[in-house]
């Protein structure tokens, strides 16, 4: 009842604030479009398994470039490829050469092709060019016309939703405190958890709309690769939004004004870009890597990728969705406790 | 008469700053109790603790025989904060609807209460306007209306008439008398001396101490002063000589 009153009020306030609505719904679309236009790939060291009937050839390859590793066993290689320990499998059985790419990451695909081409060329004697063999390329996931944006796009969708919801919900809750209305509410019989629940539900309604708009725009206008179901993507982005919402309202308790809320962005939001998998975590110092487990975006981004690129469904994403739900619940409970600072009950 | 608000030896510190020291007072049913004191005396801090949104560092506060804060009691208290706590994007009516639903008023009953409270503070014609278009006095009046909605047994008003013109101020006081006659207990803070005369009981607060209390008449007589202002100065002077 009291929570419903709060939800209704938040919706009314939000609808009056056209500019914030636009920021939440349109700004991510603009940025995604820009990134789509400007994005270009960067250097990448691929991991390639070599399986060859010619042992000499295989060991030559392994010596020539550290990207190559000899695998005796094809099923083992296939397994590692599926687990993304490998980027590709190179099978050399003259006269055919077969490359199987993992395929999700276009940057990795490009790097694999270049490394293989370069190395094979350097190993083939100049006078023997006609033996250059036919190469057959197959993809485990994705396809040759997958662009870099298809790879980072799913992650960015998650990121922008996280970013804007974090900021808007955080600032709104902060205003409740700075304008004295929080205190006014605490003089009513409203419970602390009712207040937190009201905020999550009230903003939650807008984040559903936001998720739907951003995901549809990416798929139907930007033509991002979409192998799975749009509903799963919307579900994941929604969970991510609720996490951002609960984290934003929680952290607003530690800010005195809007500017201080914005100061949380470099502390809380930006690190997620670096640690959550947009950039390769494996290339990071070992002691830094566990940080990625603390970042909600790691789970959100991974799950969206699972669906959009690898066509995953519920079995592939449920664990990530549950982790996000856990984060949200944790932040909400902490927020209820943080409000204790204002009123003990 | 029964005591509705009991404050026992309450002190409040913010860090090392002593804002209130050993305050004891009680307010009886139907009474209009005025807390008089200059700016910074600690009036707001004291009424917030009584309303349950601040906790005393020491001492105890009971409202309706229950220790504060208590959620059930909060439905029986109407609180008007010193700074207008309103949602400026919303209209006056939407603000009142929000507070009414928090107190569980709905449907016809809610409509009636909103109309009644709005007419009390002369805002009926402005209810549809967004609050950011209100003048300072109009916001004050809307805050007062919000505190009256659920017909609380106890009204706690922190400087309710600041920025309100004398004519409307008089009509608001008349309304407070009516509510008090009907059984409402009212605790009001003010730093305006002539308003203090209107209260049944007065507590004089200065530098965090309750320097005197009693009816305005008693306070004037016992200090042989013509006005409350003189009485206040008298008590303040006595304390300073100690
Ligand atoms: N949250 C706070 N933190 C630190 N000090 C505070 C806080 N709130 C109030 N104070 C201090 O407590 C003292 C009393 O403040 P209070 O607001 O109760 O005064 P007041 O009597 O209501 O004054 P006014 O008539 O100006 O409203 C002031 O010195 C003020 O600086
Ligand atoms: Mg005050």
Q: How far is B52 from chain A (nearest CA, A)?
A: 7
Are residues A156 and A134 part of one domain?
A: no
The answer to whether B214 and B59 have CB atoms below 8 angstroms apart is no
Q: Is residue A36 part of a domain?
A: no
Distance in angstroms (rounded) separating the CA atoms of residues A55 and B170: 103
Are residues A196 and A96 part of one domain?
A: no
Are residues A109 and A257 part of one domain?
A: no
The total number of residues shown for chain A amounts to: 345
Q: Is residue A13 part of a domain?
A: no
DSSP A138: E
Q: Is residue A21 part of a domain?
A: no
- Reduced to 3 states (helix: H, G, I; strand: E, B; else coil), residue B83 is coil
Are residues A173 and A111 part of one domain?
A: no
Structure tokens at A205: 């309604």
Nearest residue on chain B to A182, alpha-carbon basis? B85
Please give the average pLDDT of every successive group of 10 residues along chain A, which has 345 residues.
Answer: 87 86 84 73 74 82 84 85 86 82 78 81 62 70 68 83 88 88 87 89 88 88 81 90 92 86 85 75 71 84 84 84 93 90 74
Whether ligand 1 lies within 6 angstroms of the CB of B160 is answered as: no
A307-330 per-residue burial string, b: 16 or more CB within 10 A, e: under 16: bbbbbbeeebbeebbebbeebbee
Does residue B103 belong to the interface with chain A, where contact is any CB pair within 8 Å?
yes
Q: Is residue A110 part of a domain?
A: yes
Torsion angle, CA of A292/A295/A301/A304, rounded to 10 degrees?
A: 120
Instruction: Please report residues of B whose CB lies closer than 8 A to that of A344.
Output: 55, 69
Structure tokens at A168: 């808007």
Whether ligand 1 lies within 6 angstroms of the CB of B37 is answered as: yes
Nearest residue on chain B to A195, alpha-carbon basis? B102
Instruction: Please report residues of B whose CB lies closer than 8 A to that of A191.
Output: 71
Q: Whose CA is nearest to atom 26 of ligand 1?
A: B39
The answer to whether B42 and B50 have CB atoms below 8 angstroms apart is no
Whether ligand 1 lies within 6 angstroms of the CB of B41 is answered as: yes
Domain boundary among A115, A139, A163: A139
How many whole angstroms from its chain centre is CA A166? 16
The answer to whether A212 and B99 have CB atoms below 8 angstroms apart is no
How many whole angstroms from its chain centre is CA B169? 14
The total number of residues shown for chain B amounts to: 242
Please give the average pLDDT of every successive group of 10 residues along chain B, which has 242 residues.
Answer: 84 87 88 88 90 87 85 88 89 93 89 90 90 88 90 90 82 86 90 82 86 79 75 65 42
Nearest CB partner across the interface for B79, out of A16, A181, A187 = A187
The answer to whether A173 and A342 have CB atoms below 8 angstroms apart is no
Nearest residue on chain A to B73, alpha-carbon basis? A189
**Inter-chain touch A183–B53, beta carbons under 8 Å:** yes
**Residue B53 has what pLDDT?**
86
- Reduced to 3 states (helix: H, G, I; strand: E, B; else coil), residue A227 is coil
Q: Is residue A12 part of a domain?
A: no
**What are the C-alpha distances in Å from A276 to residues A281, A282, A303, A308, B121?**
8, 11, 12, 17, 56
Structure tokens at B18: 């002593």
Domain boundary among A117, A139, A161: A139
**Residue B241 has what pLDDT?**
43
Are residues A105 and A180 part of one domain?
A: no
Distance in angstroms (rounded) separating the CA atoms of residues A273 and B8: 55
Q: Is residue A184 part of a domain?
A: yes
Using the structure block, give the residue that is written with the tokens 């929680």: A250
Are residues A318 and A221 part of one domain?
A: yes
Sequence-distant (6+) residues with CB within 8 A of B169 are B161, B195
Are residues A283 and A186 part of one domain?
A: yes
Please count the structural domains in chain A: 2
The CATH number of the domain holding residue A90 is 3.40.1710.10
pLDDT 10s digits, A139-197: 787 766 666 677 777 888 888 888 888 988 898 889 888 888 888 888 888 888 898 89
Q: What is the DSSP string of B16-73?
A: TEEEEEEEEEEEETT-EEEEE--TTSSHHHHHHHHHTSS--SEEEEEETTEESS-HHH
**Inter-chain touch B81–A187, beta carbons under 8 Å:** yes
Does residue B104 belong to the interface with chain A, where contact is any CB pair within 8 Å?
yes
Distance in angstroms (rounded) separating the CA atoms of residues A175 and A171: 6
Distance in angstroms (rounded) separating the CA atoms of residues A230 and A308: 8
Are residues A135 and A152 part of one domain?
A: no
**Residue B242 has what pLDDT?**
42
Side-chain half-sphere CA neighbours of B40 within 13 A: 3
Ligand 1 centroid from CA B242, angstroms: 24
Q: How far is B110 from chain A (nearest CA, A)?
A: 13
> Residue A335's closest CA among A177, A240, A195, A178?
A195
Q: Is residue A124 part of a domain?
A: yes
**Inter-chain touch B52–A345, beta carbons under 8 Å:** yes
The answer to whether A225 and A309 have CB atoms below 8 angstroms apart is yes
Q: Whose CA is nearest to atom 4 of ligand 1?
A: B14
Are residues A247 and A119 part of one domain?
A: no
Q: Which domains does chain B show, CATH number per domain?
A: 3-76+154-241 (3.40.50.300), 86-151 (no CATH)
**Inter-chain touch B79–A184, beta carbons under 8 Å:** yes
DSSP A75: H
Q: Is residue A26 part of a domain?
A: no
Domain boundary among A139, A167, A191: A139
Are residues A179 and A108 part of one domain?
A: no
Q: What is the DSSP string of B103-140?
A: TT--HHHHHHHHHHHHHHTT-GGGTTSBGGGS-HHHHH
Distance in angstroms (rounded) separating the CA atoms of residues B65 and B72: 12
pTM of the model: 0.77
Instruction: Please report residues of A whose CB lies closer than 8 A to that of B55.
Output: 344
Nearest CB partner across the interface for A5, out of B51, B53, B102 = B102
Whether ligand 1 lies within 6 angstroms of the CB of B190 is answered as: no
**Inter-chain touch A180–B84, beta carbons under 8 Å:** yes
**Inter-chain touch A5–B74, beta carbons under 8 Å:** no
Which alpha helices (H) appear in B121-222, and where do they start and end?
Answer: 136-148, 166-181, 193-196, 216-222
Are residues A260 and A172 part of one domain?
A: yes
- E strand intervals along chain A: 48-52, 68-70, 88-93, 96-101, 134-139
**Inter-chain touch B53–A186, beta carbons under 8 Å:** yes
**What are the C-alpha distances in Å from A48 to residues A65, A144, A146, A188, B9?**
10, 18, 20, 65, 78
**In which domain, by residue range, is A135 found?**
48-139
Are residues A78 and A172 part of one domain?
A: no
């Amino acid at each position: 009842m009291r929570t419903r009153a709060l939800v209704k009020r938040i919706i009314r306030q939000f609808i009056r604030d056209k500019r914030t609505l636009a920021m939440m719904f349109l700004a991510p679309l603009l940025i995604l479009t820009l990134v789509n236009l400007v994005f270009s790939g960067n250097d990448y060291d691929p991991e390639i398994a070599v399986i060859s009937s010619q042992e000499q050839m295989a060991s030559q390859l392994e010596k020539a470039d550290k990207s190559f590793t000899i695998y005796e066993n094809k099923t083992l290689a296939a397994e590692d490829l599926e687990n993304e320990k490998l980027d590709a499998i190179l099978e050399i059985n003259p006269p055919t050469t077969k490359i199987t790419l993992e395929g999700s990451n276009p940057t990795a695909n490009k790097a694999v092709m270049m490394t293989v081409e370069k190395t094979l060329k350097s190993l083939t004697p100049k006078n023997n060019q006609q033996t250059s063999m036919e190469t057959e390329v197959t993809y485990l996931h994705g396809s040759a016309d997958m662009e870099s944006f298809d790879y980072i796009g799913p992650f960015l969708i998650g990121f922008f939703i996280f970013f804007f919801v974090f900021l808007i919900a955080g600032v709104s809750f902060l205003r409740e405190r700075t304008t004295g209305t929080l205190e006014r509410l605490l003089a009513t019989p409203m419970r602390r958890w009712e207040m937190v629940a009201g905020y999550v539900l009230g903003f939650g309604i807008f984040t559903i709309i936001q998720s739907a708009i951003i995901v549809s725009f990416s798929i139907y206008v930007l033509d991002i690769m979409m192998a799975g179901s749009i509903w799963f993507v919307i579900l994941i982005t929604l969970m991510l939004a609720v996490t951002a919402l609960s984290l934003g309202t929680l952290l607003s308790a530690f800010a005195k004004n809007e500017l201080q809320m914005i100061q949380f962005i470099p502390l809380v939001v930006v690190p997620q870009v670096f640690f959550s998998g947009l950039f390769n975590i494996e290339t990071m110092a070992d002691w830094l890597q566990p940080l990625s487990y603390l970042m909600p975006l790691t789970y959100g981004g991974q799950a969206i990728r699972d669906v959009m690129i690898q066509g995953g469904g519920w079995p592939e994403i449920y664990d990530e969705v549950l982790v996000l739900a856990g984060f949200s619940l944790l932040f909400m409970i902490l927020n209820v406790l943080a409000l204790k600072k204002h009123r003990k009950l | 008469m029964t005591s509705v608000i009991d404050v026992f030896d309450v002190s409040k510190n913010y860090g090392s700053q002593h804002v209130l020291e050993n305050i004891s007072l009680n307010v009886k049913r139907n009474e209009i109790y005025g807390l008089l004191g200059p700016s910074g005396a600690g009036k707001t801090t004291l009424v917030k603790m009584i309303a349950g949104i601040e906790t005393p560092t020491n001492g105890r506060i009971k409202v309706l025989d229950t220790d504060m804060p208590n959620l059930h009691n909060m439905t029986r208290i109407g609180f008007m904060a010193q700074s207008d706590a309103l949602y400026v994007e919303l209209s006056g009516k939407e603000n009142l609807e929000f507070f009414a639903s928090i107190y569980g008023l709905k449907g016809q009953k809610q409509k009636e209460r909103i109309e009644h409270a709005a007419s009390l503070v002369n805002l009926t014609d402005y209810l549809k306007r967004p609050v950011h278009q209100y003048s300072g006095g109009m916001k004050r009046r809307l805050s007062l209306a919000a505190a009256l909605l659920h017909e609380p047994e106890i009204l706690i008003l922190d400087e309710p008439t600041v920025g309100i013109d004398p004519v409307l101020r008089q009509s608001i006081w008349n309304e407070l008398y009516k509510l008090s006659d009907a059984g409402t207990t009212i605790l009001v803070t003010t730093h305006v001396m002539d308003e203090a005369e209107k209260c049944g009981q007065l507590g004089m607060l200065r530098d965090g101490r309750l320097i005197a209390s009693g009816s305005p008449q008693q306070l004037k007589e016992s200090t042989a002063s013509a006005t409350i202002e003189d009485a206040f100065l008298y008590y303040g002077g006595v304390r300073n000589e100690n």
